Amino acid sequence: MKFRAAVATVTVVPLALGLAACGGNDKPAAAPPAPVSVPTTAEPQKAVSTPPPAVTRLNRVTFVPAMNTAMTKARSWKITGVMKAGGEPLMTISGVQSAKPFAMSLQMSGAAFEGKTAKVVVSKGTGYASIPGATPAGKYVKFKLGQIAELDELLDGGDPTKIFKSFDKSMASVKFVGEETVAGEKLERYAVSVNTAKALKAQGKKIPKGVPATITYSMWMDKSHLVRKVSFDLGGVSMVMTMSDYNKPVSITAPPAGKIVR
């Protein structure tokens, strides 16, 4: 099977797809004190305005626990992404994923696949792959997860849950950058740096020569800490990934038997 060339082209994809959801754990505010009556002859008291509570930003200590807690609440999501090399489009990714049960449907197209489209589906613990140049057009190869390393690489590249599991041991720093409006929604932007070697090791991947010591992701989150957008740039390869439609119903089914070649 001719998967190695395509996989080698997109080995940095898993580094870009760490998207997760986060719910808040704020405690309810204490009840206001009872009003105090004053004699009518006393000088009226001036009302004192209470400033709104400061917004708690995530930091190096709270970032990973927040994501891990939230991911348990994310049942499904939609993924879209664009990868470029030297400023030129290399690959686009689109698809949907569900967490429980784990299922995924991804489409990847562009120069990485000679301008054609690769499709990978995971349903009920079984994978199905249609790769240009490796399978007949419109046909799928059936495989078990963990059976074919190259296909596992492609799956990892489209599964955001794989990435943040490595952040617990690889995160170097987290910095709140500011608020920005993206697609009409006010989001919080963070700069998240991770130790490259530790991140790859935690994912069970080899460390390529020449990679920088750290990689910094730009991450945009809404007020509930759902990650809506992630971008990064590594050695001239850039990636912008968005996640949307959290917890909306998705339909992911295996290809019909007539389209499976083996």
Q: Are 139 and 130 in contact (CB under 8 A)?
A: yes
Q: How far apart are CA 72 and CA 246, in angstroms?
A: 12
Q: How far apart are CA 136 and CA 64, in angstroms?
A: 42
Predicted pLDDT of residue 140: 94
Q: How far apart are CA 165 and CA 109, in angstroms?
A: 27
Burial of 128 (0-12, 13-18, 19+ CB in 10 A): buried
pTM value?
0.73
Would you say residue 53 has pLDDT above 80? no
Q: What architecture does CATH give domain 4-19+58-255? A: Clam (2.50)
Predicted pLDDT of residue 98: 92
- The values of phi and psi at residue 151, to 5°, are -70, -35
Would you say residue 31 has pLDDT above 70? no
Nearest 5°: the CA angle 189, 193, 198 is 145
Predicted pLDDT of residue 197: 86
To which residue do tokens 């994978």 refer? 127
Q: Phi-psi category of 184—alpha, beta or left, where left has phi over 0 and alpha has psi -120 to 50? A: left
Of 233, 229, 254, 255, the residue nearest 78 (C-alpha): 229
Q: How far apart are CA 81 and CA 94, in angstroms?
A: 6
Q: Where are the domains of the chain?
A: 4-19+58-255
Percent of the chain with pLDDT over 90: 26
Would you say residue 4 has pLDDT above 50? no
- The values of phi and psi at residue 75, to 5°, are -90, -30
Q: What is the DSSP letter of 20?
A: -
pLDDT in tens, 165-221: 777 788 899 999 999 998 888 999 999 998 888 887 776 777 777 778 888 989 898
* DSSP per-residue letters across 87-148: TEEEEEEEEEEETTTTEEEEEEEEGGGTTEEEEEEEETTEEEEE-BTTB-TT-BEEEETTT-
Of 6, 5, 4, 258, the residue nearest 138 (C-alpha): 258
